[in-house]
Amino acid sequence: MIKINQLKLRVTDSVARLKLASAKVLKIDIKDIETLEVIKRSIDARKRPEIFFSYTVLIKTAFDEKKEKRLVEGLKNRDVSIDEITEYQEPKLNDVISGVESREFFKEEKNRPVVVGFGPAGMFAALVLARAGMHPIVYERGAEVDERIRNVEDLWEKGELHKESNPQFGEGGAGTFSDGKINTLVKDKDGRSRFILNLFVGYGADYSILIDAKPHVGTDRLVDIVKNIRREIEALGGEIRFNTKFTYDKKRDKDRKIILAIGHSARDTYEELFNAGLEMQAKDFAMGFRVQHLQSMINQDLYGDVDEKTLAALGQGAYKVTHTSDKNGRGVYSFCMCPGGYVVNSSSEEGRLCVNGMSYHRRDGVNANAAIIVSVRKSDYDGEHDPLGGIRLQRELEERAYRLLGGKVPVQTYGDFKKNLASTDKSLGEVSPQIKGQYGFAKLNDIFRFDEDSRYASLNDFNETFIEGMESFEHKLHGFSREDTLLAGIEARTSSPVRIPRDENFESNVSGIYPCGEGAGYAGGIMSAAMDGMKTAEALVKHYNSL
């Protein structure tokens, strides 16, 4: 088959024109194109006011393989090549395991693999194991998603935290209460990401996620999707034990195979496993604040003046910005940008507060928001000597954020942040808080201030670096550093500050424990976590096939 990259159409053009455009590029008659499949679509706004969709398409012609190859070679066009879509090959279990028919082998609970956590990594690990016929047992400390929604609403509307069922813990993991972005930078030569996307579409997501360069599902759609995946796992003999926190027992679990798919917020589980001898390493991560702008301003910056039809075709504008400080070398960058979204209280521990961003499928909120975060080095918290030091730092900062308003989300204008002043409702300009959860106005500057003899004193450059980044982004997106831009904090859980080492077989230093996903330091979002869960499950199937 022939792949064509960078095939451009105006955003309001019919997709049917792709066939004609492809024939023109290939210099063949349109009748010689038998099938055309769009495999990627991105926005090209470099020549505004004209804005294009840039497509990558896969074409089957009426020609045989040799003629297709000669055609491509003759064109001498670097955007045209011979290619195929790689279909994911699900791992197959041997008919006999340890001298016993596999169907009988996995009827014994002691032989059934265990998955700890039912976020993206655990969910897709369990799905792969269930489809292989291994009847996995999943331990999820939080509730199933419908009950979990009620628990989260208690936090947002009443300030009541359910410690085991909240925006971090429960069916679907932290990603369920997020924007539902499922793009990834992970290379996918084995077809795992397309397998995941196809499954999502089959269970309720829009077909567009199969082609968009930045696919988005939305929290409201994710709820039904995760329930449907759970039902498939159960129908195949898997078992999900909700409201059940897994506790490792060396004696009981020494012969079990355990896929450890905890999220980055399972701090008590990190401590328990570290004390049980599981090797852990500190790693760099990043923290900062959620920043809110008017979505209309972001659209104007990215697209210019466009009519409603064009904007509807493009969708709400999404940005990604980065800056490196000349003064200290710290990175400042956007993370988890949510067009038309909300800042949400995403706390999971009493007396501590953290925030995240969320969008519904329609992305029709007034504000855009993103985390603007500053890199934190493991040397900032003595990570070389304290593998769990990053967690201690996160907790310290989340406690400070909580104390500002007794658990309400603290909000400050960027103008007041620069002046080191607490905001009030009189500080507001055009941008009003769009927040899921109780909030109030405060002064965020003091969260990242430490005594000179503090173990965290090296982070006293945080506020200055954050401002430097915001001012830099103004040169890329006009209005980004407006005085009425709103900050909310603290965004402390962008990624795990811990990595759990594993060998080439995905096994940790503790026999039988297979760490994976965000919590183990191997992923950074829904898609990469799901893919890592799949790879870990594949390694476990391979292990059983060797018995």
Whether 148 and 194 map to the same domain: the answer is yes
d(CA 114, CA 42): 40
d(CA 360, CA 210): 18
Residue 88 counted as domain residue: no
28 DSSP assignment: S
Task: Tell me what pLDDT residue 112 has.
Answer: 97
Whether 303 and 264 map to the same domain: the answer is no
Query: Which tokens is 299 given?
Result: 């659209």
Task: Tell me what pLDDT residue 181 has.
Answer: 78
Whether 275 and 291 map to the same domain: the answer is no
Cβ neighbour number for residue 16 with a 10 Å cutoff: 9
Model pLDDT for residues 361-376, shown as the tens digit of each residue: 999 999 999 999 999 9
Whether 130 and 8 map to the same domain: the answer is no
Each as own residue / partner, the long-range contacts of residues 60-65 (CB below 8 Å, 24 or more positions apart, any chain) are: 60/1, 60/2, 60/33, 60/34, 60/35, 60/36, 61/2, 61/26, 61/28, 61/32, 61/33, 61/34, 62/31, 62/32, 62/33, 62/34, 63/32
Whether 272 and 323 map to the same domain: the answer is no
Residue 213 counted as domain residue: no
Domain boundary among 82, 112, 127: 82
Q: Over range 204-210, report the average pLDDT.
A: 93
Helix axes 219-235, 145-158, angle to 10 degrees: 150
Q: Over range 202-213, report the average pLDDT.
A: 93
Q: Over range 28-56, report the average pLDDT.
A: 94
What is the CATH classification number for the domain harbouring 237?
A: 3.50.50.60
Check whether 186 has a pLDDT greater than 80: no
Residue 415 counted as domain residue: yes
Whether 471 and 343 map to the same domain: the answer is yes
Percent of the chain with pLDDT over 90: 93
Check whether 308 has a pLDDT greater than 80: yes
What are the angstrom distances between the C-alpha of 135 and each of 7, 111, 162, 427, 530? 45, 9, 30, 57, 19
Label residue 215 exposed, middle or buried (CB < 10 Å: 0-12, 13-18, 19+): buried
Which carries the bigger pLDDT value, residue 145 or residue 49? 145
What is the CATH classification number for the domain harbouring 21?
A: 3.30.70.2700
Residue 142 counted as domain residue: yes
Q: Mind giving me the DSSP string for 408-472?
A: SEEEEEHHHHHHT----GGG--S----EES-EEE---GGGG---TTSTTGGGGGHHHHHHHHHHH
Residue 351 counted as domain residue: yes
Task: Tell me what pLDDT residue 491 has.
Answer: 97
Whether 242 and 390 map to the same domain: the answer is no
Q: Which residue has the tokens 């955003």?
A: 11
SS3 282: strand
Q: Which residue has the tokens 């096994």?
A: 507
Task: Tell me what pLDDT residue 15 has.
Answer: 87
Q: Over range 442-458, report the average pLDDT.
A: 97
Task: Tell me what pLDDT residue 122 has.
Answer: 98
Residue 509 counted as domain residue: yes
d(CA 11, CA 41): 11
Query: Which tokens is 38 given?
Result: 């769009």
Whether 310 and 402 map to the same domain: the answer is yes
What pTM, to 2 d.p., does this model score?
0.95
Whether 196 and 77 map to the same domain: the answer is no
Label residue 285 exposed, middle or buried (CB < 10 Å: 0-12, 13-18, 19+): buried
| pLDDT band, very low/low/confident/very high, at 188 (cuts 50, 70, 90) | confident
Q: Mind giving me the DSSP string for 198-263?
A: HHHHHTT--GGGGTBSS-B--HHHHHHHHHHHHHHHHHTT-EEETT------HHHHTT--EEE---
| pLDDT mean across residues, the chain | 96
Domain boundary among 37, 56, 82: 82
Task: Tell me what pLDDT residue 449 has.
Answer: 97
Task: Tell me what pLDDT residue 183 has.
Answer: 77
Residue 379 counted as domain residue: yes
The β-bridge partners of 253 are none
Whether 164 and 28 map to the same domain: the answer is no
Overall number of domains in the chain:
3
Taking the mean position of all CA atoms in its chain, how far away is CA 438? 25
Query: Which tokens is 413 given?
Result: 């204008």
SS3 298: helix
Whether 448 and 423 map to the same domain: the answer is yes
Q: Which amino acid, residue 332?
A: V
Check whether 545 has a pLDDT greater than 90: yes
Model pLDDT for residues 221-269, shown as the tens digit of each residue: 999 999 999 999 999 999 999 999 999 998 999 899 999 999 999 999 9
Q: Which residue has the tokens 């915001």?
A: 470
Task: Tell me what pLDDT residue 178 has.
Answer: 82
Q: Over range 290-295, report the average pLDDT.
A: 98
d(CA 490, CA 355): 6
Whether 136 and 237 map to the same domain: the answer is yes
- Provide the residue range defining the domain that includes 39: 2-82
For the chain, give the number of residues.
547
Task: Tell me what pLDDT residue 16 has.
Answer: 87
Residue 526 counted as domain residue: yes
Domain boundary among 56, 82, 108: 82
Which carries the bigger pLDDT value, residue 227 or residue 84? 227
